[in-house]
Amino acid sequence: MGNEFYKLSAGEKIFKFINYLLIILLCLSIILPFFNILALSFNAGKDAERGGVYFWPRVWSLENYKEVFSSSNIVNAFGISLFRTVTGTIASVFLTAMAAYALKSKTLPGVRFFTLLIFFTMLFSGGMIPYYMLLKDLHLINTIWVYVIPGLYSAWNIIIMRTFFQQISISLEESARIDGYNDFSIFMRIIMPLSKPVIAIIALFNAVGHWNDWFTGSFFVRDSELRPLSTLLQEMLTRAEALRDTLTQSGGTRQYELLEQIQVTGNSLKMATIVIVVTPIICVYPFVQKYFAKGVMIGSLKE
């Protein structure tokens, strides 16, 4: 690699240098803020308010995480988040792939109409109130299935998968039909194994969306036992900030004494919350990143 670099012209060397510099700056812009969040999450909240904490805690403390995990509902909320993420992701990927496989077929009656109908939903929405009324009529409000069923299909994901399926050689399907395979067998034994890159991408996007979604639990679920982790942490963060604002505005000796006893601030609690929510996704990502590079079809068929 080094010898090849010296063989490049001056212009090519400058171009490579600029490219590497931009990539390094981009990586730093992503990594450094995360280290800052991690340092603040392990730093005492009151001390962090003074500023000057960047990439290493100045006063080590676990109070932020103790405050987060002090909630009695934290384990139940984690289970709800895990259930909706696993169930919703698997069901959504499988059903989306089936829809995309059907729409890629040129012999499907009305395929253009259905494709246009799906694309139409990307441009227009009924609004929040009609959406709430629809969920209520379907008896999904205040149930665990409100996290799963409404998000089973995504028009954008269907289009992405259909485009990928169209790149798979039709000769593979024709050969399978000659061997007696039906459509479902072709889908499960040929299309799905050859589509690991797009499946991994769609699955990761779905999982991140389910895990980080706090809106659904906050607006469509009243039962506290059905709140996911993101919603519970959001409520804890809101209460912590509201309490501090109330004590600050009230004034008085007693209020200042209580304020001095608070070691966890809204900002420090926010940092701990971010770390807790992001960590599971970071742990999963290394197992799917290898599928991000498309190239699984190379050499699969020689014509």
What pLDDT, in 10s, does the model give residues 98-129? 999 988 887 788 888 888 888 888 887 778 88
Instruction: Using alpha carbons, select from 273, 274, 210 the residue that is nearest to residue 80.
Output: 210
Burial of residue 81 (number of CB atoms within 10 Å: 0-12, 13-18, 19+): buried
162 within some domain: yes
Q: What is the CATH classification number for the domain harbouring 121?
A: 1.10.3720.10
Within a domain: 168: yes
Q: Tell me the C-alpha distance between 269 and 237, whole Å.
A: 6
- Give percent of the chain with pLDDT exceeding 90: 10
pLDDT for res 291: 64
Total number of domains in the chain: 1
- On the question of pLDDT at 288 being above 80, the answer is no
Tell me what pLDDT residue 297 has: 43
- The CA distance from 80 to 74, in Å, is 10
pLDDT score at 85: 92
Q: Tell me which residue range forms the domain holding 221.
A: 64-291
User: Which pLDDT band holds residue 175 (cuts at 50, 70, 90)?
Assistant: confident
Question: Pick from 163, 202, 211: which is nearest to 288 by CA?
Answer: 202
- 115 within some domain: yes
pTM assigned to the model: 0.74
Per-residue pLDDT, 303: 46
Q: What is the 3-state secondary structure (H, E, C) of 122-149?
A: HHCCCCHHHHHHHHHHCCCCCCHHHHCH
| Each residue's pLDDT tens digit, 21-57 | 999 999 888 888 888 888 888 887 777 777 777 788 8
233 within some domain: yes
